[in-house]
Structures are given as structure tokens and as C-alpha cells.
């Protein structure tokens, strides 16, 4: 049985499944495209033909078409989205202007691991049309920033480092994320697709600069899950998938403590350089010892360069 379903997100309700019914009669006279001819992301509603059935992709979000097996509506309370193992379906993302919907789609198609991190951008894009990508934070932020930028949104890659000497556990030495410039809100927004997180304070999305000020002054901030559940697919199929998501079921306070530690020294990626600032001389000496190629900027210079817009 070949079927299709719309993966559940914060922005859709089960009533939206009506848009995925067999529209064979309604589709008469309409031009339906083959799934194989569609790119990963489309910017308008589209009739598609799949397994001799017609579907109208109307709402913004991620549509997953399967080639076999039974598909269930995904309850947001479930911890994870299970795409059919062993089968290559077809993923289509409808994106016009709802950036949260796009981030949700990319988050649902991300598996924490390292198996696909070294693929080229084009190969990652091709794979994502049928399956999920298994990557670490650096590869994930780089890929997503480039993809979203290609859709007309300004993006830039950012990262953070511990303010202490490196640990043998590389997961806790640093982290990489990206920012999106949101025209409607007239500001940069920090995004962590790797952990499915947006950062807020008083229901307002934060930039990296705003979050770092809260970390620096030990003030409170909130974590908003991109899909509204604490789930994350973990790849254990190969021994090179070495990053266990040990924080998946941790209380919110523990997760925030991890961010406070891992983003102590913030930096921005440029074309051939990395620019950072820090809280004190101890942190600066730490960066000089471990990343001598990074370029230091005073806090004032750093904010003027990246947040004058």
C-alpha cells in the first residue's frame, strides 16, 4: 500500500490530514507533477501524483510519501518521528514564508550522528529528498544555513566554546548553530537545528548576542522546541555514530546549564576567518592556546560588527 502523510508539527492539527485525501475526482483538469520531478522545497501549493493517486500539497510543512507499509498520524507526544526503515520514500517541503514551519521540517529530517557529515552539499540535498541526514552540529548548521539562504533568507553560522580547557568528551567542548535574519521581526534569530531549539525570553525570540548577554549576566532564558516535543532520532547503526543525545530526557534546567557552559565564548564564521569575543582574559587565553587562528574582537567591536543592522 502506497500512502502519504503530513508529519505533525506545532503548526498543524489532525484536521489538516483532509488535504491529503485521494483527490482523484477533484484533480480532473489539474496539472499534477510527478514526485520525482519536484525539488526538496517548493514555494507554492502543488498537485502531485503518487501511486495512481492525486494529492494536493496545500499547507506549509513537510510531506513524506512512503512506498510501502502503513503510515500513522504522528502524535506530537511521541518521542521521535519514525520514517519507514529500509525504504526510501519521498520528502517534499512546502515553504512560502512560515520560517518556523521550514525549521520544523529540517529538524524532523535530522538525525544526530556523523555518518553523512562529509557528504557534499549536493549529495546531502539529494539524500534529503528521500531520507533523513545523520550529521553533527557543525555539518548540520552549515548545511541548513546554506539551504535556507538559497531560499532567500539571510543566514550566518555561529558557534560557542567552553571557557575552560577542552574535555576528552568532544561533545562538551563546543557547539555550532546558525542565525536567521527575520524581516518581519527585524532582527536575527538564533537557531539550533541539531537539538531542535529556539531561544526565547518573555515570549520573544533571541539573537545570539542577546542570549550571550543573558548568559554573561546569569539571567534567565527559555528553550522552545522547534517541533513541540523533546524527541530526537539517534543513529546507532554504525560505530562511527558516536554522539549519544544524553540530554534528550533531561529537565529543562539541566539543558540550559549545558548551553550556559558551551556558549561561554561566542564566535562567528566568516569566509576565511572566525571572529570571537569573550568575558575575561582567562577565556581569551584559552582560545589563543587551542584556536590560535581565531581573531579576537572586543565585545563592543563584536556587537557593532554583527548587530548594527
CA-to-CA dists, residue 88 to 21, 48, 80, 85, 129, angstroms: 22, 18, 18, 8, 9
Mean pLDDT score, 115-141:
91
How far apart, in whole angstroms, are the C-alpha atoms of residue 69 and residue 67? 7
Burial of 11 (0-12, 13-18, 19+ CB in 10 A): middle
Is the pLDDT at 11 greater than 70? The verdict is: no
Rounded to a whole number of angstroms, the CA Rg of the chain reads 21
- List Cβ<8 Å contacts ≥24 apart for 188-191: 188/156, 188/306, 188/307, 188/309, 190/158, 191/103, 191/144, 191/226
**Does a structural domain hold residue 290?**
no
Is the pLDDT at 46 greater than 50? The verdict is: yes
Is the pLDDT at 208 greater than 60? The verdict is: yes
**Does a structural domain hold residue 111?**
no
User: Which residues fall within 8 angstroms of residue 96, CB to CB, at 6 or more apart?
Assistant: 43, 44, 60
In this predicted model, which residue has the larger pLDDT, 46 or 208? 208
* CA atoms within 13 Å, Cβ hemisphere of 273: 6
Closest CA to 7 of 131, 108, 79, 130: 108
- Confidence tier at 48 by pLDDT (50, 70, 90): confident
In this predicted model, which residue has the larger pLDDT, 42 or 168? 42
In this predicted model, which residue has the larger pLDDT, 126 or 81? 126
Query: Alpha-carbon dihedral of residues 248, 250, 252, 257, nearest 10 degrees?
Result: -100
Closest CA to 189 of 161, 209, 168, 217: 209
The answer to whether the CB of 212 falls within 8 A of the CB of 228 is: no
**Does a structural domain hold residue 30?**
yes
How far apart, in whole angstroms, are the C-alpha atoms of residue 287 and residue 265? 8
**Does a structural domain hold residue 245?**
no
Which regions of the chain does DSSP assign to beta strands (E)? 3-6, 33-34, 41-42, 46-50, 53-57, 61-66, 90-94, 110-112, 133-135, 155-161, 174-182, 187-192, 197-201, 204-205, 222-225, 265-269, 274-276, 295-296
Helix (H, G, I), strand (E, B) or coil at 21: coil
Predicted pLDDT of residue 169: 65
Predicted pLDDT of residue 28: 52
How far apart, in whole angstroms, are the C-alpha atoms of residue 285 and residue 125? 39
How many domains, the chain?
1
Name the pTM for this structure.
Answer: 0.79
Mean pLDDT score, 94-123:
89
User: Which residues fall within 8 angstroms of residue 112, CB to CB, at 6 or more apart?
Assistant: 134, 135, 136, 194, 232, 233, 234, 235, 243, 245
Mean pLDDT score, 175-191:
95
In this predicted model, which residue has the larger pLDDT, 53 or 248? 53
In this predicted model, which residue has the larger pLDDT, 42 or 71? 42
**Does a structural domain hold residue 256?**
no
Mean pLDDT score, 25-37:
65
In this predicted model, which residue has the larger pLDDT, 33 or 292? 292
Mean pLDDT score, 84-94:
67
How far apart, in whole angstroms, are the C-alpha atoms of residue 89 and residue 225? 26
Grid cell digits, residue 214: 543573558
Mean pLDDT score, 182-195:
94
**Does a structural domain hold residue 50?**
yes
Is the pLDDT at 51 greater than 80? The verdict is: no
> Domain limits at 27?
1-96
Mean pLDDT score, 37-60:
82
- Confidence tier at 290 by pLDDT (50, 70, 90): confident
**213-245, pLDDT tens digit by residue?**
999 999 999 998 886 533 344 333 433 333 333
- Confidence tier at 267 by pLDDT (50, 70, 90): very high
Least confident of 5-9, 155-159, 192-196: 5-9
Is the pLDDT at 305 greater than 60? The verdict is: yes
Predicted pLDDT of residue 146: 97
Enclosing H/E stretch for 209: helix 208-216
**Does a structural domain hold residue 8?**
yes
**Does a structural domain hold residue 92?**
yes
- Confidence tier at 67 by pLDDT (50, 70, 90): low
Amino acid at each position: 500500500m502506497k500512502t502519504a502523510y503530513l508529519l505533525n508539527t506545532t503548526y498543524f492539527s489532525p484536521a489538516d490530514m483532509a488535504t491529503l485525501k485521494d483527490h482523484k475526482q477533484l484533480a480532473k483538469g489539474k496539472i499534477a507533477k510527478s514526485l520525482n520531478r519536484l525539488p526538496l522545497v517548493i514555494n507554492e501549493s502543488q498537485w502531485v501524483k503518487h501511486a495512481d493517486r492525486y494529492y494536493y500539497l496545500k499547507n506549509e510543512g513537510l510531506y513524506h510519501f512512503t512506498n510501502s507499509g502503513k503510515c500513522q498520524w504522528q502524535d506530537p507526544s511521541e518521542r521521535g518521528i519514525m520514517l519507514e526503515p529500509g525504504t526510501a520514500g519521498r520528502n517534499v517541503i512546502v515553504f512560502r514564508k512560515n520560517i518556523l514551519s521550514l525549521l520544523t521540517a529540517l529538524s524532523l529530517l535530522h538525525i544526530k550522528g556523523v555518518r553523512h557529515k562529509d557528504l557534499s552539499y549536493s549529495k546531502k540535498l539529494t539524500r534529503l529528498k528521500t531520507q533523513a541526514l545523520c550529521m553533527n552540529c557543525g555539518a548540520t548548521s552549515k548545511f541548513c544555513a546554506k539551504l535556507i539562504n538559497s531560499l532567500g533568507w539571510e543566514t550566518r553560522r555561529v558557534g560557542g566554546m567552553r571557557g575552560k580547557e577542552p574535555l576528552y568528551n568532544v561533545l562538551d567542548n563546543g557547539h555550532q548553530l546558525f542565525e536567521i535574519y527575520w524581516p518581519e521581526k527585524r532582527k536575527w534569530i538564533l537557531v539550533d537545528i541539531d537539538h531542535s531549539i529556539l531561544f526565547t525570553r518573555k515570549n520573544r525570540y533571541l539573537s545570539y548576542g542577546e542570549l550571550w548577554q543573558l548568559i554573561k549576566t546569569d539571567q534567565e532564558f527559555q528553550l522552545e522546541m522547534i517541533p513541540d516535543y523533546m524527541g530526537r532520532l539517534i543513529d546507532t547503526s554504525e560505530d562511527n555514530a558516536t554522539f549519544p543525545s544524553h540530554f534528550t530526557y533531561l529537565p529543562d534546567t539541566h539543558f540550559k546549564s549545558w548551553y550556559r557552559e558551551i556558549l561561554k565564548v561566542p564566535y562567528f564564521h566568516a569566509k576565511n576567518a572566525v571572529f570571537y569575543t569573550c568575558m575575561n582574559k582567562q577565556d581569551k587565553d584559552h582560545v589563543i592556546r587551542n584556536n590560535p587562528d581565531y581573531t579576537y574582537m572586543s565585545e563592543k567591536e563584536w556587537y557593532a560588527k554583527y548587530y548594527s543592522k
